[in-house]
Amino acid sequence: MAKMAASLLESGEDAFRKVFKFYRRRNPPPDYSQVIDFSTGVPSDKIVLAKLDLAAVTDAEAAKVGLQPVRDWRAFGLQGYPGFIFISNPFLPGCQPSWVRQCLKTYPQKPNVCNLDMHMSPSETQDIWGKSVHSLSVRSSAKREPKTLLERLRWVTLGYHYNWDTKTYSANHYTPFPADLHSLSLQITAACGFPGFNAEAGILNYYRSDSSLGIHVDESELDHSRPLLSLSFGQSAIFLLGGVCRQDAPTAMFMHSGDMMVMSGQSRLLYHAVPRILPAPQGHMASVMEGCSLSLQDSSGVEAVSKEDWAVCCRYIQSSRVNVTVRQVLGPGQSFPETPSSHQRTDAGQTAGYHDRATDGESEKRKRSSSCDSDDAQT
């Protein structure tokens, strides 16, 4: 009996993994009837309305970053997950394209760091967008041609660059965090009751239709009292939100283009994963794309997207999803602990990435050591 329990634990068949495998399955496709869809407004006994701080963000401040007035946002909580807030696409019509363009054209640029830097020289990864747009726009999908750099992009880090090997941030690997994304993050978190959020680190994940993101907890940030913000663009995903233990079965929900999540309080350190990318619901992408009109963009503070740039973005997001997570690493007045190695650390060994944990869902790169992690205790 004990032997069987041990082998079960060894094979990692915890409740979360079972659900992960269920939704990752392709043939036959899984039943999605239990997946919460906040976009349809269908009430569920698990969904509660989240209270926002309507006074924290003025309509002008919201519009400046491409968001609707906070009173118009549809924000939800989930029973049993205090501190978790889901905001169903609060962008102004026509304003997502500008953020998509930033994610595809601007944020992958130096000095930000991306997966391609791990095995290519800085000059080769200098202009990912510029080196990709031509073949992306003339390519016929039937032809087998080498993938462009943009299609090979898997992650970008911003601000304090996350080190995938040591699972840490450090003072000596920092580049300025993009001001526009800092400002967007500040407004969203303020509306959720967290004034003064300081966006210090960002991870962008670029998912193809067959990508997934393994079960993990984001705990490398030094101040866990600050929320974690997640934004999604392009194709949809199934997001699984679990508990503090791998044994806790997760809740499944759809994340569509423009949707946002705030993980704070007791939900800040919960296990989560993305087992599956799915085509956006009918009409969803069309409304994102149609909105990309110059007149609408003029009324907001976000920069207009040229026709040429938008054509490339559209092609890309028709088969891909981009997720941006924004993190405050340090609390007010906090600094990184001084370690002897922190002066010598280089990026040379930084070869891993999300895609260790993103491709098969089996590897869990950031283990929590808590008393309920019996599988951690066993190994």
Q: Which residues are annotated as a binding site?
A: 216, 218, 272
Of 81, 129, 177, 239, the one binding ligand OGA by CB under 6 A: 239
Amino acid of residue 124: E
* Residue closest to 253 by CA, chosen among 42, 92, 110, 2: 42
d(CA 111, CA 109): 6
Q: Smallest distance, Å, CB 328 to ligand OGA?
A: 14
Of 189, 236, 323, 328, the one binding ligand OGA by CB under 6 A: 323
In this structure, what token pair is assigned to residue 194? 């967290």
Of 14, 61, 180, 218, the one binding ligand OGA by CB under 6 A: 218
Q: Which stretch binds ligand OGA (CB under 6 A): 26-34, 119-127, 136-144, 231-239?
A: 231-239
Residue 352 CB burial class (10 angstroms; 0-12, 13-18, ≥19): middle
Site for Mn ion in 211-240 (CB under 5 A): 218
Q: What are the b/e assignments for 326-350, b being 16+ CB within 10 Å? A: bbbbbeeeeebeeeeeeeebeeeeb
Minimum CB distance to Mn ion smaller for 105 or for 355 = 355
d(CA 222, CA 211): 29
Site for ligand OGA in 247-286 (CB under 6 A): 255, 272, 274
Q: How many residues does the chain have?
A: 379
Amino acid of residue 236: S
Annotated binding site for Fe cation: 216, 218, 272
Which one of ligand OGA, Mn ion, none interacts with residue 274, CB within 5 to 8 A by kind? Answer: ligand OGA
Of 103, 203, 296, 330, the one binding ligand OGA by CB under 6 A: 203
Residue numbers at the binding site for ligand OGA (CB under 6 A) = 203, 205, 213, 218, 230, 232, 237, 239, 255, 272, 274, 323, 325
Q: Where along the sequence are the contacts to Mn ion (CB under 5 A)?
A: 218
